[in-house]
Amino acid sequence: MFGNANVQQLTDEASPDAFLILAREIWRRDPWKQRAFSSEDGEFREMFGCSVGVCVSLWNLLKKTESLPPGSTSNKEHLLWALMFLKVYGTEKVMCALAGGVDKDTFRKWSWQFVEAISSLQSFLIIWENRFKMDKGNDCLISVDGTDFLIPEHGRAFYSHKFKKSAFRYEVALCILTGDIVWVNGPYEAGLWPDINIFRNSLRSHLEPGERVEADDGYIGDHPLFVKCPAGFANPPYTEYMQQRVRNRQETINKRFKQWKCLAGRWRGELVKHGDAFAAVAVITQLAINHGEKLFSCGYRDPPYD
């Protein structure tokens, strides 16, 4: 890539140095000139949405699961293009310029192949059975909520009351005791699918007998059999703070998703590809959690409390 066999050999390896060399080239800097790792890792996050360490793990997982796109088994630069696309989400002209002046077809081909490859890792990282981690017998193992993302105007079926505009809605569930993402589902038309209907459509049927979920009052129709929520008649007032903390953490994961510009603003691409972009961001977010970037903890237990 740089006309130097040593550089090519180094970038063939899956290491932080390999990805930083490629990143410096994108940054139009001397690829051999190192700066403080914390500084470069911060710049890496700004451009590619995750730490260098998470990027290395992502590449290794793609390779281990044989999920790398055909013809890309040694081209880590294309993974960076995909991460940059999701994080920066500029126009094609801007993205091609950031990628070194490649043509639009080349950038579109490789960035999307890697986005799709990353999204395919859901079954390896977002695992429903992980809600049992650290299980201590609570009947509520997860919190669940819907989150909306803007799309071009598509009429009343997609109308989001949050945005007053068209949106896709996804369902996300977190393990209460670990903060792991254990379930994602969607997209749904925001105007046709209230949160509780999405819950009833699939997730509810995956609960064990007697298992319930923590949720907001939008789910009160399934309280108390399947849901604990603040306004529920069976919800004791002295547990409200504990439950509110769980729901607040649910909002934290939504904020992490929307740090990626592809999800923070209005989607400009084909609607059928939005699900892949969302899934890829969810996968990377969970991988970052696995790397120690955990959500704040929630002390949680079921009654009796004495």
Q: Which domains does the chain have, with CATH numbers?
A: 4-125 (no CATH), 128-291 (3.30.420)
Q: Are 88 and 268 in contact (CB under 8 A)?
A: no
Parts of the chain with a pLDDT under 50? 1-11, 305-306
Which helix (DSSP H) or strand (DSSP E) does residue 214 occupy?
Answer: strand 212-214
Q: Cα–Cα distance between 133 and 131 in angstroms, integer?
A: 6
Tell me the two tokens of residue 163.
């945005």
pLDDT for 304 equals: 56
β-sheet bridge partners, residue 143: 174, 214
Tokens 């009351």 appear where? Answer: 161
Give pTM, 2 decimals.
0.92
One-letter amino acid for residue 137 of the chain: G
Strand partners, 223: none
pLDDT at 297: 87
Distance CA 122, CA 3 (A): 37
In angstroms, the CA 1 to CA 169 distance is: 41
Q: Minimal CA–CA distance to 21: which of 9, 35, 7, 37?
A: 7
Indicate the helix (H) or strand (E) that contains 141: strand 140-150
What is the structure's pLDDT at 196?
98
Residue 13, pLDDT score: 60
Q: Backbone dihedral region of 153: left (phi > 0), alpha (psi from -120 to 50 degrees) or beta?
A: beta
Q: Provide the token pair at 194.
A: 């209230």
Q: At what angle do helices 16-26 and 37-48 cross, to 10 degrees?
A: 60
253, 92 in Cβ contact below 8 A?
Answer: no
Contact present, 79 and 59 (Cβ < 8 Å): yes
What Å distances lie between residue 134 and 138, 140, 174, 209, 295, CA to CA? 10, 13, 13, 19, 16
Q: How far apart are CA 44 and CA 49, in angstroms?
A: 7
- C-alpha 182: how far from chain center: 11
Total number of residues shown for the chain = 306
pLDDT of residue 12: 54
Enumerate the H helices of 51-202 as residue ranges.
52-64, 76-88, 92-98, 104-119, 122-125, 195-201
